Amino acid sequence: MRPQTRLVEVRQKVLKQNDVVARELRRQFHDDGIFAVSLVSSPGSGKTAFLECTLTRLRGQFRVAALVGDLATDNDAVRLARSGVPVKQIVTGTVCHLEAEMVRSALEGWMPPKLDFLFVENVGNLVCPSSYDLGEDLRLVLMSVTEGEDKPLKYPTIFNSADVAVITKIDLADAVEFDRDQAVKNIQAVRPGMTVLEVSSKTGAGMDQWIEFLKTWRTAPAELTPTTA
């Protein structure tokens, strides 16, 4: 057997094991009435800022908590904790993505009781997280206006692993001459029919629409039609 062949087999085994744990997590979330949402994007696209706005808006009405993954530091957990909801950092060390087992371990002995929403911010990376199911109900892929409109074409797998695309930092769109129509076209080329939301965590633009979208997805997803707001 050639060395390359062995490498593929190990990877398949790890992914299979991840799927088993993810399935168990998903069942546990559903049994407990928890709607789990994960966020993936390249580093610095605005996941933590977007999540902080989201948690702040939801916390009066719903029981919410968040897990956040990073290679090092608990900076993001400290930022998210400002929203006043329970937050836990997962430090992955050298691992460039979260795995279902990391989520399960982080929740053990910590999961706040009777949650409505659990948010999971993945490690900033447009490649590795795409292969790992975390048991979530909804996966968002964020893409900021400062990254360039071509990201969906260059990293199609991560867009294909997500349910909804969120264009972030739209307050900066004019300054960086962001071509919104081209970006949406590129997303649709990779994932026809994908819902695209547009937000600014700085100004709050698009946040009301996002929160409404989230509530509807949780309770009556069939009512949603693809949106390019």
Ligand X SMILES: Nc1nc2c(ncn2[C@@H]2O[C@H](COP(=O)(O)OP(=O)(O)OP(=O)(O)O)[C@@H](O)[C@H]2O)c(=O)[nH]1
Question: What's the closest the beta carbon of residue 194 comes to ligand X, in angstroms?
Answer: 20
Distance from the first to the final alpha carbon of the chain? 52
Assess 76 for contact with ligand X (CB under 6 A).
yes
Assess 47 for contact with Mg ion (CB under 5 A).
yes
101 binds, among ligand X, Mg ion, none (CB under 5 to 8 A by kind): none
Tokens of 110: 């910590």
Determine the Cα–Cα distance for residues 28 and 180; give it in Å rounded to an integer: 39
Assess 59 for contact with ligand X (CB under 6 A).
no
Question: What's the closest the beta carbon of residue 201 comes to ligand X, in angstroms?
Answer: 4
Among 115, 201, 206, 210, binds ligand X (CB under 6 A): 201
Assess 46 for contact with ligand X (CB under 6 A).
yes
Residues 85-114 that bind ligand X (CB under 6 A): none
Tokens of 139: 């996966």
Among 18, 48, 54, 186, binds ligand X (CB under 6 A): 48
Closest CA to 190 of 161, 219, 170, 222: 161
19: CB partners within 8 A, 6+ apart: 100, 133
Assess 52 for contact with Mg ion (CB under 5 A).
no
Question: What's the closest the beta carbon of residue 170 comes to ligand X, in angstroms?
Answer: 7
Contact 104, 54 (CB under 8 A): no
SS (H, E, C) 154-202: HCHHHHHHCCEEEEECHHHCCCCCCCHHHHHHHHHHHCCCCEEEECCCC
Assess 200 for contact with Mg ion (CB under 5 A).
no
169 binds, among Mg ion, ligand X, none (CB under 5 to 8 A by kind): ligand X
Question: What's the closest the beta carbon of residue 43 comes to ligand X, in angstroms?
Answer: 4
Helices (H) and strands (E) in the chain, counts: 8, 7
Over the window 149 to 188, marking each residue x when it contacts ligand X by CB under 6 A and - when it does not, the resulting string is -------------------xx-xx----------------
Determine the Cα–Cα distance for residues 165 and 187; give it in Å rounded to an integer: 8
- Binding site residues, ligand X, CB under 6 A: 41, 43-49, 76, 124, 168-169, 171-172, 200-202
